[in-house]
Structure 1
Amino acid sequence: MSNAKVLIVDDDANVLKAYERRLRRRFDLETALCSEEGVTAVNFLGPFAVIVSDMQMPRVNGAQFLQRITSVAPESVRIMLTGNADQATAAAAINEGQVFRFLNKPCDADDLAKAIDDAIHEHQRRIEELELVRQAVSGSIEMMSRVLAITKPEAFGRAARLKKFVASLAEQLKLPEAWEYETAAVLSQLGWITVPEETLNKHRSGAKLTKEERQTLDSRFDAAADLIAECPKLDRVAEIVRRCGTPPAATANHDEQVVDPIERGRALIDLAESFDELTAGQGITPLLALEQLGDSSHRHDHELLAGMRSHLEGAEDHVLIEVRVSELQDGMELAEDVVTTEGAMLVSQGQEVTLTLRQRLSNYCKTHSVKQPIHVLASRQAAERLRMAPEVAAAS
């Protein structure tokens, strides 16, 4: 049986039952009796490699249904079933729903299975192409991240925390386009480069800003989006970041709502920034921060908050410990800023310890003084290994 998920939408229950009997052993199959059920399936049971839709359905026809889910499931390959394969129908389906193949009804299950196999191969090709695109743009993302690390280390640390938060929540909720959300979370902080240090210091201290300073601060997402838009294949990431500077979009009819991925990205980053301000900024524990965010339920999405609670409650147990630079291990998380003995920031709190970070700090310690020990979050196993290390060394 193929591992690729397939969705068939048809308002004829007998047709769906017949396809289920013939195809369920070959494909990971889901069915829906109308476009409304189809939208729900795409939002909550996807992602689907292939979506098959009947053309003639009540209220919303197949072409309109496929067009509605294009933004939510852009990589899904679409097949249209129609008993009215005239030119106008075909043109509407191609233009609105980006249909891969048409099949006339009644359609034999074997013929449909062959078309689905071809569509699965097409889906795999698209996924491979998308992966090549991701690899191609990763260099641009890395370059912009390094610029942020050098010019605004505090913003870079926040970017690392936002990426980790968004990645965890996207995985928890099994969201499509996760890489776009993670990328947008990191690059959303690029706008801080355009904020003068004096304005930034006033903002940190809570001092009153002038009208011009407030405008500069408020336009940071637009500034970041303009920079991102210069990179090829990052158009949607730029849209997500630009949307971060706007209020939540008005919701549509909840009975048949297709989740806008741009708005979902904005909501993710907004929740991540709010959570980061409470935990990293104010020192509030994660679960208490969640409770406070839940109180502002009109601002934050209920589904995201529920996913956040599941993630926090199921997270690996970590403990706060003190280590020296030489004791840092990959996977630890900095619980405070790493600073020189004179107070200059080297690495901001929240960043995950990596080989590159350890090498950077180790080299710096050879010629400069770093304030030690450093507070980090570590798994209980890592903390126990560090505690046992001196005892083992003494015993040997």
Structure 2
Amino acid sequence: MTTTPERVLLVDDDPNVLKAYERRLRRRFDVETALCSEEGVTAVNFLGPFAVIVSDMAMPRENGAEFLVRMHELSPESVRIMLTGNADQQTAVQAVNRARVFRFLSKPCQADDLEEAIDAGIQEYRRICAERDLMSQTVHGVVAMLSRVLSLTSPIAFGRANRLRAFARELGEAAEIDNAWELEIAAALSQLGAVALTEQTLAKVAQGQPLTAAESELLSKQYETAAELIAEAPRLDQIARVVALQATAALPATGDDPVMLRNASLLAIALEFDHLTANAGCGAMEAVDRLATDSKSYDPLAINALRKVVAKHDARRIIDVELNELIDGMHLVEDLKTTTGMVLVAKGHDVTASLRSRLKSYAETHELHLPMRVVVSSDLADEIESRRLALCP
């Protein structure tokens, strides 16, 4: 079985140098070339990712160091190599901390030396990707475990966490942020502090009932508690900080990483929007208007993203469905209970094949309170209505 050669980008303003290197390297690598930094950026945007990016230092308009700094931001996993002459060596060295250059090669550079450096760069790229994949598996495993614990100890909080996770995913997409998964995980784990609260207290919060002084104090510390639990897990320290910021995340803040503050602001508005619509009886647009004029002055980015998500939701409809009409992707807007009042699935859950299978098995021996209320797209609502009409005599 043949393997696909690794992709390499060469950037140099001398076409003769590029052609010479390309002839030698294309025997082993999938090579793209660019005659200037802007061509290099275009190549990364439309032809990437590249395992290795090699740039000459001395180029017009934007030198190689500046270009590789941009590459570090645009394609951080790509390994960066710089070709530099003696005259600009000091400039290149000064840029290494910003561009994270993997290796310097002095010009004129022999093809053998460049090939050897690219080989080493590819090995580094593979290491980076393997570490990324391992981290992703570790993070998702820990998140799944913590979510499972929450589902067993507090079904009400677990239901809210599911709502928040789905909503945060949409907010991240609307805000067009990178690494939106961090916001989604922060939302999913933000309710872990509920393990310190009783189900009775959580039910009172959900129903807007007054709390005792002791309950109010515990509730005020829920995000601090959640952050402490999250921080115990490997690789989740930034997620923990996003959750910990919830006491002040609505206000512009300084001193923290801008990406972290942005995620904290988006999570803050997701939490308050969920409270207003799920617990305080507000409609979606009313909640948006209240948040837009709130004295906490939510981040404009978060407000704009919220408006986009709510506008998209306006194209959805809430309908009642029977068990046999459930379809993956439907979203429960009310708790699913048995006829005796026991909550089987909290509102906020998305319908999955696994959930449908469990409900079908449960319904064979128990009575469910049907129909279920779900939110679906207008097209799907029309399709379900058409199916019902077709079954009518």
TM-score, reference length from structure 1: 0.71
| Distance in 1 between residues matched to 2:118 and 2:212, nearest whole Å | 59
Is 2:281 aligned against 1:279? no
Q: Which runs of 5+ in 2 are unaligned?
A: 1-6, 12-33, 59-64
| Distance in 2 between residues matched to 1:297 and 1:290, nearest whole Å | 13
Contact 1:316 1:379 in 2 (8 A): no
Contact 2:57 2:92 in 1 (8 A): no
- The C-alpha deviation readout for 1:37-65, integer Å capped at 9, x for no partner, is xxxxxxxxxx999998989xxxxxx79x9
Letter paired with 1:272: A
| Structure 1, 331-340 or 259-268: larger mean CA deviation | 259-268
| Structure 1, 361-370 or 258-267: larger mean CA deviation | 258-267
Contact 1:66 1:78 in 2 (8 A): no
Q: Aligned in 2, Cα 1:315/1:118: closer, same or farther, shift over 3 Å?
A: farther
Equivalent in 316, 319, 328 of residue 318 of structure 1: 316
Is 2:36 aligned against 1:19? yes
Alpha-carbon deviation of 1:150?
A: 2.2
* 1:177 match: 179
| Distance in 2 between residues matched to 1:53 and 1:341, nearest whole Å | 73
Q: Which runs of 5+ in 1 are unaligned?
A: 9-16, 30-46, 56-61, 253-257
Equivalent in 202, 215, 218 of residue 217 of structure 2: 215
| Distance in 1 between residues matched to 2:174 and 2:189, nearest whole Å | 22
Contact 1:202 1:209 in 2 (8 A): no
Identical aligned pairs, as a percentage? Answer: 37
Alpha-carbon deviation of 1:199?
A: 4.0
| Distance in 2 between residues matched to 1:167 and 1:200, nearest whole Å | 24
Q: Aligned in 2, Cα 1:230/1:373: closer, same or farther, shift over 3 Å?
A: same
* 1:349 match: 347
* Counterparts of residues 1-396 of structure 1 (less than 5 Å): 19-20=36-37, 23=40, 26-28=43-45, 75=77, 85-86=89-90, 90=93, 98-102=100-104, 126-127=128-129, 129-204=131-206, 205-210=208-213, 212-247=214-249, 248=251, 250-251=253-254, 260-296=258-294, 298-315=296-313, 317-394=315-392
Contact 1:148 1:193 in 2 (8 A): yes
Matched pairs, number? 351
| Distance in 2 between residues matched to 1:208 and 1:227, nearest whole Å | 24
Contact 1:219 1:245 in 2 (8 A): no
Contact 2:82 2:101 in 1 (8 A): yes
Letter paired with 2:315: D
| Distance in 2 between residues matched to 1:54 and 1:299, nearest whole Å | 46
- The C-alpha deviation readout for 1:210-268, integer Å capped at 9, x for no partner, is 2x44332222223222322332222222222222244546248xxxxx96222222112
**Whose radius of gyration is greater, 1 or 2?**
2
Q: Aligned in 2, Cα 1:214/1:100: closer, same or farther, shift over 3 Å?
A: farther
- The C-alpha deviation readout for 1:291-331, integer Å capped at 9, x for no partner, is 22111274311012112223333457221211122222111
Letter paired with 2:253: A
SS at 2:307's partner residue?
Answer: helix
Report the aligned-residue RMSD. Answer: 4.5
Q: Aligned in 2, Cα 1:316/1:259: closer, same or farther, shift over 3 Å?
A: farther
| Distance in 2 between residues matched to 1:304 and 1:79, nearest whole Å | 38
TM-score, reference length from structure 2: 0.71
Letter paired with 2:362: Y
Contact 2:44 2:75 in 1 (8 A): no
Contact 2:190 2:226 in 1 (8 A): yes
Q: Aligned in 2, Cα 1:22/1:393: closer, same or farther, shift over 3 Å?
A: closer
Q: Aligned in 2, Cα 1:389/1:375: closer, same or farther, shift over 3 Å?
A: same
| Distance in 2 between residues matched to 1:282 and 1:221, nearest whole Å | 20
| Distance in 1 between residues matched to 2:322 and 2:348, nearest whole Å | 17
- The C-alpha deviation readout for 1:160-205, integer Å capped at 9, x for no partner, is 1111111112122221221121111101111101113454355454
Q: Aligned in 2, Cα 1:104/1:228: closer, same or farther, shift over 3 Å?
A: same
Letter paired with 1:309: R
| Distance in 2 between residues matched to 1:22 and 1:332, nearest whole Å | 45
Contact 1:280 1:350 in 2 (8 A): no
Q: Aligned in 2, Cα 1:123/1:240: closer, same or farther, shift over 3 Å?
A: farther
Q: Aligned in 2, Cα 1:203/1:194: closer, same or farther, shift over 3 Å?
A: same
| Structure 1, 121-130 or 177-186: larger mean CA deviation | 121-130
| Distance in 1 between residues matched to 2:180 and 2:266, nearest whole Å | 11
Q: Aligned in 2, Cα 1:121/1:175: closer, same or farther, shift over 3 Å?
A: farther
| Structure 1, 364-373 or 243-252: larger mean CA deviation | 243-252
Letter paired with 2:309: H
| Distance in 2 between residues matched to 1:269 and 1:106, nearest whole Å | 52
Alpha-carbon deviation of 1:151?
A: 1.9
